[in-house]
């Protein structure tokens, strides 16, 4: 069964928004980036949430006006109250609905968004940004190209990518360290594991999904073939995924935000193979990863060992 991003927003609770706010790595990085580029701009915050966090950051950083869109009814009402309590109602307009449905009173020149899932595009960010580029965003200046350093920032973040690597399953000590039991439906193959230790990886992770937002035109279809050589022997149990976010410079050496960091509000997706495979050092594993990021995003992963197909996994699970 595919999961519509429109249904995902209905699952967000006050606790969800609090965890996102309290992810200091993420929140501080967004605040610093927005403070650098928001002054004098008209911004659109896609999926502002109950705390209207990015919208408030932009207004306090000097944005001329911020349009903040939220589809969840309860979160929308809370965002209106949050903005009023901050004394920012004259510069932040909260709109109820999805950004792909609403019409803004004017075009904006800055996009703000953090609708990035445990797998980057799973919450519909590609479709939302492409729609915003077509309907909400002022066209870039014709006097300079989108790669020109003089071109103003169009999007915060500038880039989000998702990486995967072949991995062992974490041991009992990992699960014992969690503050709550891990529950999964019988037969589930896509697990969400918080603060997954990097020691489970059997090879360095590689990028399979790369969403570039600098020109507000992320690729909605991606298809890559990744080749891994096992760095050590171990029991190959699946694929460990994590996301990385670059706020202003998509080509920076390191991302400002990563779900591989302990304490991230994003859990790491672990895609389980049907059967464990004893892997020797040097064993070759290939993964063909396909991303279809339209209105209902879906991912397919085909795993081969030494050239022989062994499994296929989907996210979200069918």
H/E run at residue 55: helix 53-60
* pTM: predicted TM-score of the whole model, two decimal places: 0.90
CATH number at residue 99: 3.40.50.150
Q: What is the pLDDT of residue 132?
A: 98
Asked if 197 and 291 sit in the same domain, the reply is yes
Asked if 11 and 104 sit in the same domain, the reply is yes
In a domain, 123, yes or no: no
Asked if 83 and 171 sit in the same domain, the reply is no
Report strand pairing: 221-229 vs 268-279. unpaired
Asked if 176 and 310 sit in the same domain, the reply is yes
Q: What is the pLDDT of residue 17?
A: 58
Backbone angles phi, psi at 37, to 5 degrees: -120, -10
Total structural domains in the chain? 2
Beta-sheet strands, E only, within 74-180: 92-96, 110-113, 155-156, 159-167
In a domain, 127, yes or no: no
Cβ pair 38, 60 in contact under 8 A:
no
Output the six-digit token pair for 13: 């609770």
Q: At a CB cut-off of 8 Å and minimum separation 6, what does 102 contact?
A: 69, 95
Asked if 219 and 100 sit in the same domain, the reply is no
Please classify residue 34 by burial: count the beta carbons closer than 10 Å to its beta carbon, then call 0-12 exposed, 13-18 middle and 19+ buried: buried
Distance of CA 306 to the CA centre of its chain: 32
Give me the sign of the Cα torsion angle 255, 243, 115, 154: positive
In a domain, 136, yes or no: no
User: Of 115, 149, 184, which one is at a domain's C-terminal end?
Assistant: 115
Q: At a CB cut-off of 8 Å and minimum separation 6, what does 1 contact?
A: 316, 317, 318
Rounded Cα gap, residues 66 and 95, in angstroms: 10
Asked if 220 and 291 sit in the same domain, the reply is yes
CATH number at residue 290: 2.70.160.11
In a domain, 245, yes or no: yes
Asked if 19 and 79 sit in the same domain, the reply is yes
Cβ pair 67, 108 in contact under 8 A:
yes
Rounded Cα gap, residues 154 and 205, in angstroms: 29
Asked if 110 and 163 sit in the same domain, the reply is no
Q: What is the pLDDT of residue 220?
A: 95
In a domain, 152, yes or no: no
Output the six-digit token pair for 110: 């800055």
Asked if 98 and 189 sit in the same domain, the reply is no
Q: What is the pLDDT of residue 144?
A: 41
pLDDT in tens, the chain (318 residues): 445 555 555 556 656 656 666 678 899 999 999 999 999 999 999 999 999 999 999 999 999 999 999 999 999 999 999 999 999 999 999 999 999 999 999 999 999 999 999 999 999 999 999 999 999 999 876 434 444 556 789 999 999 999 999 999 999 999 999 888 777 777 899 999 999 999 999 999 999 999 999 999 999 999 999 999 999 999 999 999 999 999 999 999 999 999 999 889 899 999 999 999 999 999 999 999 999 998 799 999 999 999 999 999 999 986
In a domain, 120, yes or no: no
Rounded Cα gap, residues 190 and 188, in angstroms: 6
In a domain, 139, yes or no: no
Asked if 197 and 76 sit in the same domain, the reply is no
Asked if 90 and 165 sit in the same domain, the reply is no
In a domain, 177, yes or no: yes
Could you tell me the residue range of the domain that residue 238 belongs to?
159-315
Q: What is the pLDDT of residue 179?
A: 81
Asked if 173 and 294 sit in the same domain, the reply is yes
- Say how many C-beta atoms besides its own lie within 10 A of residue 201's C-beta: 20
Residue 39 has what DSSP assignment? T
Q: At a CB cut-off of 8 Å and minimum separation 6, what does 188 contact?
A: 272, 317
């Amino acid at each position: 069964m595919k999961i519509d991003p429109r249904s995902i927003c209905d699952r967000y609770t006050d606790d969800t928004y609090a965890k996102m706010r309290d992810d200091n790595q993420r929140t501080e990085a967004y605040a610093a980036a927005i403070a650098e580029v928001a002054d004098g701009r008209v911004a659109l915050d896609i999926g502002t949430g109950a705390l209207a966090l990015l919208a408030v950051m932009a207004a306090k950083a000097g944005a001329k006006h911020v349009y903040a869109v939220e589809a969840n009814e309860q979160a929308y009402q809370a965002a209106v109250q949050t903005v009023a309590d901050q004394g920012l109602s004259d510069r932040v307009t909260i709109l109820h609905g999805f950004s792909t449905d609403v019409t803004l009173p004017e075009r904006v020149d800055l996009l703000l968004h953090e609708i990035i899932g445990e797998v980057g595009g799973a919450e519909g960010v590609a479709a939302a940004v492409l729609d915003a580029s077509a309907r909400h965003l002022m066209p870039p200046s014709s006097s300079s190209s989108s790669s020109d350093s003089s071109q103003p920032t169009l999007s915060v973040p500038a880039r989000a990518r998702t990486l995967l690597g072949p991995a062992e399953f974490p041991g009992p000590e990992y699960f014992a360290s969690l503050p709550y039991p891990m529950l999964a439906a019988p037969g589930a193959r896509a697990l969400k594991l918080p603060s997954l230790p990097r020691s489970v990886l059997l090879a360095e992770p590689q990028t399979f999904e790369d969403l570039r937002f600098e020109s507000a035109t992320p690729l909605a279809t991606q298809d890559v073939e990744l080749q891994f050589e096992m760095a050590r022997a171990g029991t190959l149990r699946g694929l460990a995924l994590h996301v990385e976010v670059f706020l202003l410079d998509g080509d920076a050496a390191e991302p400002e935000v990563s779900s591989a960091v302990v304490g991230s509000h994003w859990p790491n997706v672990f895609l389980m193979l049907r059967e464990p495979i004893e892997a020797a050092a040097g064993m070759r594993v290939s993964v063909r990863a396909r991303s279809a990021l339209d209105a209902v995003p879906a991912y397919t992963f085909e795993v081969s060992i030494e050239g022989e197909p062994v499994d296929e996994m989907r996210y979200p699970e069918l």
